[in-house]
Amino acid sequence: MLIYEILKGGVFEPKHIEAMGQAFEAVCSGLELTKRDDPLRDLVARKVIECAQRGEHDPARLARVVLSALQQLPPGSAVRM
């Protein structure tokens, strides 16, 4: 699923959506999540949205915050770092 599909009807400004898309792609690339139907990509997208809702809109910082949030998931979760 593309992050843009999740954001349909949202309240983000276009420039913020662009930043979120860049952060999403950077995180997925860094985690080597290349298959579009990989459920982990959905998790990354949701974390990007969650972090952006808290006010972070710089793509590089947003990607770092998302990676940090994913690393803090409990052991045995779907994401292994």
- Give the model confidence (pLDDT) of 32-69 as tens digits: 998 988 888 989 998 999 999 898 999 999 999 999 98
**What is the model's pLDDT at position 10?**
65
| Domain boundaries defined on the chain | 12-71
**What is the model's pLDDT at position 12?**
80
State percent of the chain over pLDDT 90.
46
Three-state DSSP state, 29? helix
C-alpha 29/C-alpha 6 separation (Å) is 19
